Chain A
Amino acid sequence: MRTVILGGRGFLGSTLAKRLPDVLLLGSAEVDLIQPTAVEKLRSLIREGDALVFASALTPDKGKDARTAMKNLAMGEHVSAVVESVKFSHIVYISSDAVYADDANPVRETSCASPTTLYGLMHLMRERMILVSAGKTPVMIVRLCAMYGTGDTHNSYGPNRFMRTAVKDRVIQLFGQGEEQRDHLHVNDCARLIELCLKERFIGVLNAATGKAVSFMEVAQMVAAIVGGVEVKGQPRSGPVTHRHFDITEMIKAFPLFQFTPLEDGLRALR
């Protein structure tokens, strides 16, 4: 079975593609999903029975404003139109933990989806678009926590940026003292989870997270220890400290043998 990956040139899409035997990778260079012409273009490239992974989105580093949100929704609209007219064997929609309320700790699949950002709201809307368009086609929604790993094209606050600045400038700058705890998922682990979802044709919602949140300070100190000779610098805090923890019981039930890459090993591989 062939898997079509929209967003196939991105951080996750390209990593996932390496794990699958038969893939059609489509990035914005091949099909610009924001444009209405994407519908016909996709229809011409897709075969009945393909599995679809929709991993394409403008992430917050590209903009957190309404215009960016509307571009993302346009992608959702165009992909939904294709989903309505082509019979896929399985659809995996790559969403985000931004769909959950900020205080939903510990986040689980049944937590209230009440996004506070346009990015989260956009993903929630696109999830619904795909589910409505898919009809009886099995749909899996994978909500990602923060990802890191080799090949990250974003420069978000977290492991990848810490490693880059540690190597280049010998310094890691934290917001406040880096007290916020977050769940950091290695991109390879995320790709493995999606591969398993595809293999078993899972349906429903799965949070892709390790279940072990650590503070940005701990991540920075690990990176500093790996690189050596790096200063970790805090700065005055401008906002309140917020944490995000995941309860991954449902993931364990679905994949009891799945084990995550230890954070330290994943950070070491970034070097």
Chain B
Amino acid sequence: MKIGFAGMSHLGIVTSAATAAKGFDVVIYGTPAMISEPGLPELLAVNQSRIKPITNPGALKDCDLVVVSLDVSTDIGNHSDLTGLRQLIAQLPPVATLVILSQVPPGFTRSLKLPNVYYQVETLIFGRAVERALHPERYMIGCANPSAPLPDSYAKWLQAFDCPILPMRYESAELAKISINMFLVSSVATTNTLAEVCEAIGADWNEIAPALRLDKRIGQHAYLSPGLGIAGGNLERDLITVRTLAEQHGTDASIVTAWLANSRYRRDWVLRKLHEHIGEPIAVWGLAYKQDTASTKNSPALALLELLKGFRVQTYDPAVKGTATSALEACADAAVLVVMTPWKEFSSYSAAQLAGKMKGRVVIDPFAMLDGQQLTADGFMYHRVGGE
């Protein structure tokens, strides 16, 4: 069976590789995005023989199934721009079954007015995309008629991944994707709100979070790590989509406005701490919006650098080009060290190593990557979110 992919986004690359890994022949169309994802090089190396790039979308007509996986860009206000997606779909030849995997707002799939089209909810997580593509928790499939069976080719592809398949109407599936992100944002906002209370009253969120995880209503995998608000673009896009829908239909989405405001406030946590310890140069570890990715979209680090124009700043990120060659090199003579992305390698540095490089003794480490107790014992001023 041959499965075509149109739009080689992060999602398209990982999903097509996972599909090839399940033994399907894969055809890919589109310029591949530059991505960094743990496990992906190995997955591609093993399955390269089953993946065939094409340059003409007309060649997709021989596929049993065509999956559209173009990344939907967002503007500065996090509104989706669907122009490119619509153009790509218009270029495709008539196919037996078309699956939209791109992130679209409710109403999009039905508006295509195409036969045999399905919307499949993607739940890609940067940094864990391969693991989730090979072992999905479930598939949510938007259908014109949820009670009708899926086409054989589509069902065969999904069944290869051995997880529950949940058919539903288009709009439900499109909103299900957003619903997942809304629940994640609510956890992030709640965690950050309480983390700040912890900082104010001398409590420690790291002591509270494990207790919450043992509550079945909250769960082991809940987003309970305090940080610098939401970033990356996808969650923000979905919040804006819900707010737009609420404006159109007169529903109450004031909580979304509150989440966005809370996220902006948290993003500036580092700036407020830095203001208490003005000094130059400032070493910044991490530019990516989170660990294990090179993506800097809506990254708190870039937002901080924008505000630090006029200050001498020395940056390092293991995945982002144009930074120092090592974390310690970025610390040379620094007055302050700020850790903006929780890359695992940062936790390997000791207080003594920092003391040997920095001229100042201030470390702002929102994600608690470093040994705060040791740093404090060695005379550093140490700040993290969620505790003293």
- Cβ-defined contact, A249 with B271, below 8 A: yes
Minimal beta-carbon separation of B267 from chain A (angstroms): 9
B268: chain A residues within 8 A (beta carbon) = 249, 252-253
Contact with A along B271-284 (1 / 0, CB 8 A): 11001001000000
Kindly state whether residue B349 has any CB partner on chain A within 8 Å: no
The residue among A110, A248, A252 with the most chain B CB atoms within 10 A of its own CB is A252
Kindly state whether residue B307 has any CB partner on chain A within 8 Å: yes
Minimal beta-carbon separation of A106 from chain B (angstroms): 8
Which of A110, A247, A253, A256 lies in contact with B311, CB distance below 8 A? Answer: A256
Interface size in chain A (residues, C-beta < 8 A): 10
Chain B residue at minimum C-beta to C-beta distance from A259: B278
Which of A247, A252, A257 lies in contact with B265, CB distance below 8 A? Answer: A247
Which of B272, B278, B308, B310 lies in contact with A249, CB distance below 8 A? Answer: B272
B275: chain A residues within 8 A (beta carbon) = 252, 256
Report the separation of the CA atoms of residues A253 and B308 in the bound assembly, to the nearest whole angstrom.
Answer: 9
- Cβ-defined contact, B271 with A252, below 8 A: yes
Contact with B along A231-261 (1 / 0, CB 8 A): 0000000000000000111001100110100
Minimal beta-carbon separation of B338 from chain A (angstroms): 14
- Cβ-defined contact, A253 with B265, below 8 A: no
Report the separation of the CA atoms of residues A248 and B265 in the bound assembly, to the nearest whole angstrom.
Answer: 10
Minimal beta-carbon separation of A250 from chain B (angstroms): 9
- Report, as a range, how many residues of chain B touch the other chain: 10 to 19
Minimal beta-carbon separation of B310 from chain A (angstroms): 8
Report the separation of the CA atoms of residues A110 and B268 in the bound assembly, to the nearest whole angstrom.
Answer: 15
The residue among A110, A249, A257 with the most chain B CB atoms within 10 A of its own CB is A249
- Cβ-defined contact, A256 with B272, below 8 A: no
Report the separation of the CA atoms of residues A259 and B276 in the bound assembly, to the nearest whole angstrom.
Answer: 8
Chain A contact residues: helix, strand, loop or mixed: loop
B311: chain A residues within 8 A (beta carbon) = 256
- Cβ-defined contact, B307 with A256, below 8 A: yes
Report the separation of the CA atoms of residues A252 and B268 in the bound assembly, to the nearest whole angstrom.
Answer: 10
CB contacts between A and B, total, < 8 Å: 23
A259: chain B residues within 8 A (beta carbon) = 278
Minimal beta-carbon separation of B305 from chain A (angstroms): 13
In chain B, positions 260-274 with a C-beta closer than 8 Å to chain A are: 261, 265, 268, 271-272
- Cβ-defined contact, A252 with B278, below 8 A: no
Contact with A along B58-93 (1 / 0, CB 8 A): 000000000000000000000000000000000000
Chain B residue at minimum C-beta to C-beta distance from A211: B272
In chain B, positions 306-348 with a C-beta closer than 8 Å to chain A are: 307-308, 310-311
Minimal beta-carbon separation of A90 from chain B (angstroms): 22
B310: chain A residues within 8 A (beta carbon) = 256
B278: chain A residues within 8 A (beta carbon) = 256-257, 259
Chain A residue at minimum C-beta to C-beta distance from B271: A252
Report the separation of the CA atoms of residues A252 and B271 in the bound assembly, to the nearest whole angstrom.
Answer: 8
Report the separation of the CA atoms of residues A53 and B261 in the bound assembly, to the nearest whole angstrom.
Answer: 32
Minimal beta-carbon separation of A58 from chain B (angstroms): 35
A257: chain B residues within 8 A (beta carbon) = 278
B307: chain A residues within 8 A (beta carbon) = 253, 256
Chain A residue at minimum C-beta to C-beta distance from B311: A256
Chain B residue at minimum C-beta to C-beta distance from A253: B307
Chain A residue at minimum C-beta to C-beta distance from B267: A249
Report the separation of the CA atoms of residues A110 and B272 in the bound assembly, to the nearest whole angstrom.
Answer: 18
Report the separation of the CA atoms of residues A206 and B306 in the bound assembly, to the nearest whole angstrom.
Answer: 20
Report the separation of the CA atoms of residues A255 and B164 in the bound assembly, to the nearest whole angstrom.
Answer: 55
Report the separation of the CA atoms of residues A26 and B278 in the bound assembly, to the nearest whole angstrom.
Answer: 38
A110: chain B residues within 8 A (beta carbon) = 261
Contact with B along A182-220 (1 / 0, CB 8 A): 000000000000000000000000000001000000000
Residues of B near any A CB (own CB < 8 A): 261, 265, 268, 271-272, 275, 278, 307-308, 310-311
The list of the 10 closest CB pairs from A to B, nearest first, reads A249-B268, A252-B275, A253-B307, A252-B271, A249-B272, A257-B278, A252-B272, A249-B271, A247-B265, A256-B275
Q: What are 23 A-B contacts defined by CB distance under 8 Å?
A: A110-B261, A211-B272, A247-B265, A248-B272, A249-B265, A249-B268, A249-B271, A249-B272, A252-B268, A252-B271, A252-B272, A252-B275, A253-B268, A253-B271, A253-B307, A256-B275, A256-B278, A256-B307, A256-B308, A256-B310, A256-B311, A257-B278, A259-B278
Contacts A256-B278, A256-B307 known; list 14 others, CB within 8 Å.
Answer: A110-B261, A247-B265, A248-B272, A249-B265, A249-B268, A249-B271, A249-B272, A252-B272, A252-B275, A253-B268, A253-B271, A256-B311, A257-B278, A259-B278
